[in-house]
Amino acid sequence: MTGFSRSVLTLAVRLSPRSCRSARGEQWAADLRDAPELGMSPLSIAFGALVTTFQSRGPSTAPVGKRSRETRMQFTHSPALAKLAGGTLGLVALVSGGVALGASWATGQVEHGIRMVTAGSDGPITWGSLDSETPPEKVDLSTLIIAGTIDPATGAVTDVTPHPAAAAR
Amino acid sequence: MEPIRRVTVSTVDVLKVMLGGSDPVWGLLIIKETQRPAGTIYPILERLERQSWITSEWEDDPARTGPRRRLYRFTAEGATAARAICASYEARNRDSAPASAGKLATS
């Protein structure tokens, strides 16, 4: 039995669940000792033990059968843990709901404020931003008359004949 | 005894080796006979024992000092179920094996 194999085996045993540490330790030590007798490498046994330990500890190893039931029972029989988990979830839900309601209320207030800025004035309702220092200029499109067009390339102004309805005003 | 949810080829190999004799089988000998890594065989043995397919006991050999060997044997139900699984596995392998080359007799 090489020292390295023994070290790996010791690590595998120490990482094993406490309930099976003793049995695994003795079984694997016997296998490590007798491996050369069967023409096998002690190191392969030691690494096999380590792999077994990691498999039994890993989260991907789903407990089956009796162990699965035991796991469920352990959780069910832990009221303090269940209460703590439930309380935490409830608090998170309450805070999240409060934040959402608050944000919704604030948004409503802002929109209401924007409407209040222009709804009471004469002419059409205009939308503006409350961030701007000056209120937006109001333009009554119903009285707007297009008098001409400007060519952006040349700057030439061309008169446009007003619509008969606009001309009558 | 609980059924095995996932029967792998390695599991079938372990069952075959254990069915090969009537005496309890040493774990290391199963590793040797199956020619599979110890990291594959140890978990299978632990799972089979947890599901009551096999039981294990310490070897009682006063001539041997130091740590004891672990010996495995089937439970009565486990042996029956293991035979059924091995037979089913063999049958499936026969069915899925490619047909042997030969001439088709048409007359």
Using an 8 Å CB-CB cutoff, list residues of chain A that contact chain B: 20, 23, 25-27, 29-31, 33-35, 38-40, 44-45, 47-52, 55-56, 64-67
> Which of A57-61, B56-60, B83-87 shows the lowest per-residue confidence on average (mean pLDDT)?
A57-61
Q: Which of A21-35, A48-62, A73-87: highest mean pLDDT?
A: A21-35
> A11 phi and psi, to 5 degrees?
-65, -45
pLDDT value, residue B11: 94
B29, B32, B66 member nearest A33 (Cβ): B66
Helix ranges (DSSP H) in chain B:
9-19, 27-34, 38-50, 76-96
* pLDDT: which is higher, A134 or B23: B23
pLDDT value, residue B3: 84
Query: Phi-psi bin for B35: left (phi > 0), alpha (psi -120 to 50), beta?
Result: left
Q: What is the pTM of this model?
A: 0.57
Confidence check: pLDDT of A125 > 70: no
pLDDT value, residue B61: 86
**Residue B81: CA count within 13 A, CB half-sphere:** 17
A25, A52, A67 member nearest B42 (Cβ): A52
Summarize pLDDT for A66-75 with one digit per residue, the tens: 444 444 444 4
pLDDT value, residue A64: 47
User: B32 touching A, CB under 8 A?
Assistant: yes
User: B54 touching A, CB under 8 A?
Assistant: no
Confidence check: pLDDT of B30 > 80: yes
* pLDDT: which is higher, B100 or B67: B67
Contact residues, chain B, for A56 at CB < 8 Å: 43, 46
* pLDDT: which is higher, A111 or A132: A111
pLDDT value, residue B52: 94
A33, A45, A52 member nearest B67 (Cβ): A33
* pLDDT: which is higher, A93 or B75: B75
Q: Is the dihedral of CA A30, A33, A39, A41 positive or negative?
A: positive
* pLDDT: which is higher, B30 or A56: B30
B39, B50, B67 member nearest A47 (Cβ): B39
pLDDT value, residue A61: 45
Q: What is the mean pLDDT of residues A14-41?
A: 93
* pLDDT: which is higher, A145 or A78: A145
Tokens of A81: 């843990």
pLDDT band at B15 (very low <50, low <70, confident <90, very high): very high
ipTM score here? 0.84
Measure the CA–CA gap between A5 and A1, rounded to whole angstroms. Answer: 7
DSSP lists the bridge partners of residue A107 as none
pLDDT value, residue A92: 66
Q: Are B67 and A26 within 8 A, CB to CB?
A: yes
pLDDT value, residue A77: 45
pLDDT band at B41 (very low <50, low <70, confident <90, very high): very high
Q: Are A27 and B47 within 8 A, CB to CB?
A: no
